[in-house]
Amino acid sequence: MTLELFLQNLANGIAVGSLYALIAVGYTMVYGILRLINFAHGDIFMMAAYFTFFGVAVFHLPWYFACIFVVVLTAGLGMLIERVAYRPLRDAPKDSVLVSAIGVSFLLENLATYIFSGKPKAFPDFLGLMSTISLGTVSLQKVALVVPLVLVVCMSILLFVTNKTKLGMAMRAVSKDYEIARVMGININLVIAATFGIGSGLAAIGVILWGMKYPQVSPLMGVMPGLKCFIAAVIGGIGNIKGAVLGGFILGLIEVMLVAFFQPLTGYRDAFAFILLILILLVKPTGLIGEKTTEKV
């Protein structure tokens, strides 16, 4: 492998890892507060892709308004799902909430198939990020250069919110002890709804960039990215925002480099994500930078 090809694959790996990180943060935020794996997160990602398609290709909204529209609408969808599917089961056994999450996932997939049809649609190139740019002898899509910058901005804002604002303080309090936070007067419903909204909004930002790299919209497009981003969150340490980002980068880089160095294994790219998950959990069950938690009895 030449140096130019290595650098090109490295840039692609960083871009894919950044996309995984943006989506994985939604998983890790919800789990950090509710100890719930939101299996509908990948399908919220899919709905955001349809919102983008219709906003740009059908209604011809300006790109900046379309981005705001998609993020707000997707955040609202996440909050609606929390209100309808999860809040009534908050004091129910965890198994019931898990079944509800899986049910919401299937509902969104079938609803999208019924409303939008199962025929794939082309994701619009409304920012010109699908075109390529040459940096010396390295040729890359423009989106590969933009994604890491967007991730840095989003994570900086998110860490500021969680560490420096009252909402972030409330989120951290709820994640430490749900019942004590409620006794101390924290509005639990508001905090959890905000968490779902922020996580879903990040998924919407991720899907706008994801669509530029993989320009096809279909009702099942969120299944594999959703699973991989869940894996990324677990690898880094689910419940930890920085861990989700780290896990996303590791998974993205290893996937791309595996294909680059071992081309006969290209067909096993998706399977490798699950193999990596098993290996990490065998060595460090809490993830790379996850913290051990104790169950109260």
With contact defined as beta carbons under 8 Å apart, do 36 and 101 qualify? yes
Task: Convert the pLDDT of each residue in 227-250 to its tens digit.
Answer: 999 999 999 988 888 899 999 999
CA distance 226 to 39: 8
With contact defined as beta carbons under 8 Å apart, do 25 and 249 qualify? no
With contact defined as beta carbons under 8 Å apart, do 274 and 232 qualify? no
Whether the per-residue pLDDT at 294 is higher than 70: the answer is: no
**Helices within 35-93 (DSSP H only):** 41-53, 63-81
What is the DSSP code string of 157-212? HHHHHHHHSHHHHHHHHHHH-HHHHHHTT--HHHHHHHHHHHHHHHHHHHHHHHHH
The closest of 96, 82, 89, 84 to 41, measured between CA atoms, is: 82
Task: Convert the pLDDT of each residue in 146-179 to its tens digit.
Answer: 999 999 999 999 999 999 999 999 998 888 887 8
Give the percent of the chain with pLDDT over 70: 97
The closest of 224, 241, 227 to 22, measured between CA atoms, is: 241
pLDDT of residue 115: 92
Task: Convert the pLDDT of each residue in 180-230 to its tens digit.
Answer: 888 888 899 999 999 999 999 999 999 999 998 888 999 999 999 999 999
CA distance 40 to 80: 12
Q: What is the pTM of this model?
A: 0.90
CA distance 220 to 108: 10
Interacting residues of 112 by C-beta distance below 8 A, sequence separation 6+: 43, 46, 47, 50, 219
Averaged pLDDT of the chain: 88
